[in-house]
Structure 1
Amino acid sequence: MVKLLTSAQTEIRLVSLHGTPDLQRAALLLRQIWGTRPGDDPPLPLDVMCALAHTGGYVGGAFLDGELVAVAAGFLASGETLHSHIAGVASHAQGRGIGLALKEHQRAWAAERGLNAISWTFDPLVRRNAYFNLDRLGATAVEYLPNFYGPMSDGINDGDVSDRLFVTWPVTPARVPAVEPETLAAAVPILEETGVPRHGGGAPSLRCATPPDIERLREDDPEAARRWRAALGDALGGALADGYRITGFTRSGWYLLARGGVA
């Protein structure tokens, strides 16, 4: 499948990747995006990527003016679902809609095969990913997975606990309602923007903050990053375990939650 998106300045070509040369380029790009050093575990081993592409899994790439700048890969899962295991966009190509275009390529690929949904995990502390996944795409957060992958040594996740949010995204597009300011104001905070936890007291709606840039914080203040990880796990993970559901995410970095997923 090939899809061309053109503007006055760029041309994005989206394709399913096949063949060892293209998959080698894809594996190298993922290592560059993740900042993987010699001796680190690769974000996705080349042999696994080759097996996925050969046996009916999804391996997609985005080319910007002929350069491979984004890669996503996934496998067929239960319940007529494509599980997107990994996706990344080169830093110099971000901000051009390439991540969104690649997700739409995944959605079209899944629809062609009669699948109902796409699932994936993401780090709930990474604010830009939470906003993209939950607000822009309209994915639904299903569960909080503490230390899902165990210790990781792939570059970007070194030395951090691998807590993840598991989300699903329907193949059939759905409208994402905007978060109203009064909805945010009415929600009781369970984790402040300072990283200080609060007790929600069983309120009907809650809000949970995230740090502005957890990746930079890991480098500049690892201890503060670890405190945020523990606090978010207790607050967000605890609320989900207590029957709340995530109903939205704001551009300013707040998760919104409600009892039973009703806003």
Structure 2
Amino acid sequence: MKANLLKSVTIRTLHSVEELEEVRRLETIVWSFDDSVPVNQSMAVVKNGGFILGAFYQDRLIAFQYSFPGFNGEKVYLVSQSLGIHPDYRRLGIGERLKIEQRKTASNMGYDFITWTYDPLETVNGTLNLHKLGAVVSTYLPNVYGLMDDNLNAGIPTDRFLVEWDTNEMKRSTETTPTIPYALIPGGDNLFSKPEKLDLSLNASKIFVPVPGNFQEIKKCDLSLAIDWREQTGLVFSNYLKRGWKVTDLLKREEYPHHYVYLLEKGDQNNEN
């Protein structure tokens, strides 16, 4: 069923007012009307170096991806602002297809790399961004959007990874060794374990940092524990990224079945931009 549906999904760039109005209606379903982008703004993006991709199933818009140009004082790049999927069509691989099409479109337009942010404690996003797409992270942004009151972010600082994705095809070694040290340790073998044994002085070329497998469940049941994970992982990521490591993958490890583990690597790596 999943494979047949994916084969029937078509993706194309959107240009007309009518199409962008469809995007806004879908944004309202995915988030809220207040969080949706006005059509006059999305149209300005489309006409000035950005683009919006739409995924259609049986002529129905079921997902979209919204990008605009950015400039850091030295070069122009593409900013991946948002990706929304209708609740009825999630976890089918549509997000990955949209990102692959985004990369192709960006490359054809002359962009060398794409950036976006995501919450490092949201492992579904981490698996797509790092493990499947092969993007990397070299910057940790603490509370970048301030305190928000939506369902995903309420009650906790909005710390984010800044993702960097080269538009050229990159090959990355996924080999790891069992001797890679951990920069922190979960205090038990269940989802509600506390982060413990923080180590900010490691000098290994590769480091593991575990995060909970279902952060939203922790938030719902124990907000103070969720804040603890935010604070402790924030200290770890900020420390090692400032010292030259990059986050290159998100993995599952047998020793922590209720957690995912970020791989940090230092030195010349295949995916460096």
TM-score past 0.5 threshold:
yes
- TM-score scaled to structure 1, two decimals? 0.85
* 1:29-178 mapped onto 2 (5 Å cutoff): 29-34=26-31, 36=32, 41-42=34-35, 44-78=37-71, 79-178=75-174
Alpha-carbon distance in 2 for matches of 1:128, 1:201: 29
Paired-residue identity, %: 27
Question: Structure 1 residues 81-90 or 196-205, which shifts more?
Answer: 196-205
Number of aligned residue pairs? 251
Q: CA deviation at 1:111?
A: 1.7
Supply the AA of the counterpart residue of 1:54.
K
CA contact (8 A) 1:217 1:224 kept: yes
* 1:184-199 mapped onto 2 (5 Å cutoff): 185-193=178-186, 194=193, 195-199=195-199
Q: CA deviation at 1:104?
A: 1.5
CA contact (8 A) 1:245 1:261 kept: no
Query: Structure 1 stretches of 5 or more lacking a match?
Result: 1-5
Q: Which residue of the partner structure matches residue 262 of structure 2?
A: 255
Deviation string, structure 1 residues 126-146 (Cα, Å, up to 9, x no partner): 111112111111112121111
Measured at CA, do residues 251 and 92 of structure 1 come closer, stay the same or move farther in structure 2, by a change above 3 Å? farther
CA contact (8 A) 2:138 2:245 kept: no
CA contact (8 A) 1:200 1:206 kept: no
Q: CA deviation at 1:27?
A: 2.1
Alpha-carbon distance in 1 for matches of 2:265, 2:172: 16
Q: Secondary structure of 2:27's partner?
A: helix
Deviation string, structure 1 residues 138-185 (Cα, Å, up to 9, x no partner): 1121211111122224443233311111111111111132243x2xx3
CA contact (8 A) 1:84 1:118 kept: yes
Q: Which residue of the partner structure matches residue 20 of structure 2?
A: 23
Supply the AA of the counterpart residue of 2:265.
A
Measured at CA, do residues 152 and 18 of structure 1 come closer, stay the same or move farther in structure 2, by a change above 3 Å? farther
Q: Secondary structure of 2:249's partner?
A: strand
CA contact (8 A) 1:246 1:261 kept: no
Alpha-carbon distance in 2 for matches of 1:73, 1:225: 30
Measured at CA, do residues 75 and 201 of structure 1 come closer, stay the same or move farther in structure 2, by a change above 3 Å? same
Deviation string, structure 1 residues 166-218 (Cα, Å, up to 9, x no partner): 111111111132243x2xx3122122233224215323132111111112322
- CA RMSD, 1 decimal: 2.4
Q: Which residue of the partner structure matches residue 211 of structure 2?
A: 210
Measured at CA, do residues 114 and 45 of structure 1 come closer, stay the same or move farther in structure 2, by a change above 3 Å? same
Query: Structure 2 stretches of 5 or more lacking a match?
Result: 187-192, 254-259
Measured at CA, do residues 43 and 222 of structure 1 come closer, stay the same or move farther in structure 2, by a change above 3 Å? farther
Alpha-carbon distance in 2 for matches of 1:176, 1:73: 27
Alpha-carbon distance in 2 for matches of 1:224, 1:44: 34
CA contact (8 A) 1:246 1:257 kept: yes
Alpha-carbon distance in 2 for matches of 1:45, 1:160: 28
Q: Which residue of the partner structure matches residue 256 of structure 2?
A: none
Question: Structure 1 residues 102-111 or 234-243, which shifts more?
Answer: 234-243
CA contact (8 A) 2:183 2:202 kept: no
Q: Secondary structure of 1:133's partner?
A: helix
CA contact (8 A) 1:188 1:203 kept: no
Deviation string, structure 1 residues 81-131 (Cα, Å, up to 9, x no partner): 211011122232123221111011111211221111111111111111112
Alpha-carbon distance in 2 for matches of 1:129, 1:9: 22
Q: Secondary structure of 1:141's partner?
A: strand
CA contact (8 A) 1:247 1:261 kept: no
Q: Secondary structure of 1:167's partner?
A: strand
Alpha-carbon distance in 1 for matches of 2:104, 2:265: 31
Alpha-carbon distance in 2 for matches of 1:159, 1:216: 14
Q: CA deviation at 1:45?
A: 4.4
Alpha-carbon distance in 2 for matches of 1:159, 1:54: 37
Alpha-carbon distance in 1 for matches of 2:82, 2:111: 19
